[in-house]
Structure 1
């Protein structure tokens, strides 16, 4: 079947119009996705946003956090809001403490992370004792090597009349340097909230994901 010039022109216009509409829809979708991203607690808080390497999630539900010391990066939940005053401390490039809070799956999350680049970090026993003392943890730690770091890990469940708190404690030591991180993750659920308590395993997965995402940057 032969097509005249008018038919060819009409088909061309339809194709061009279709491409333009497709690009427009794509742009609108990108704008909508960016708008959704801007609604996360971490991005809405300017102080927290200052620690992120990008406004885009590097994994679903996580941004990449970069220490102000330049000493390490890790994953940070999109719900996290870093405290600007309480629990926040920076001493040049060898010490940093941050504390963030979040509401995830009806659980109240508080996470403290302390970074040190000092010779004292090599005293593993003393540092584990200090971590246990500061967190109230009375258990033992497992030890595992992962790439250039060694991870010491412990966990416990603390019960009270109103709340059940799931604690995940870790000391992450960079092998061959003085860099180390003390990590304490606490997730609290109301004792009567069965749906929240049923997700304790998910809380541990999140804590472990953050711990294992920690990457030290040698200086």
Structure 2
């Protein structure tokens, strides 16, 4: 069994065009992602999956492996499914899906997802971290509520759980965009119909929940530094510039 980390990356971005190749730090953003997750101890290989030749070319310049997928992928997971086929991965192989806008995702989080997936009969493993009530109100931060056994009950851009009476100590959790699953499940997932909650929230993981599949959620102390806007990229560039 092989364990592969795949980074689905596209060039187009409404709020931050060409995000994957922004290079104010001296390196394209996608390189930061690859280098960070390459510190994982359980991963055999890191691969970029993209539909844009410019990203393929950039990957070649810094020695990363990349595969060219179609431009018809609905989601990152659909792109992962195409990449798994191109790479001829076995159904029992494990893929860790790491978002291309998470340049500081540590390798230990990748390893944690692999360990979680292997700990029980789960279909997907993912991670979350504690956040404040004020942060939970932000729609750009996806929240997750999970059961006592660690399985996800729901993901939402809304504040969940909602403290109706404002008198209970409620802990909110931010969902990180990282997933581990077996290749066999990725193939199955890609064939599933989209679901109402998935379409409303624009969160593809809800497709799995609405179809009855189990997602195990682990809590980590990694806060995350997802980059969606020019301001977030500028802040990231300032953080890493001194270490160049």
**Same fold per superposition (TM over 0.5):** no
Select the structure that is richer in strand: 1
Query: Considering only CA atoms, is the larger Rg found in Structure 1 or Structure 2?
Result: 1
For the superposition of Structure 1 and Structure 2, which TM-score range results when normalised by the shorter chain? under 0.3
TM-score w.r.t. structure 2 length?
A: 0.23
TM-score w.r.t. structure 1 length?
A: 0.25
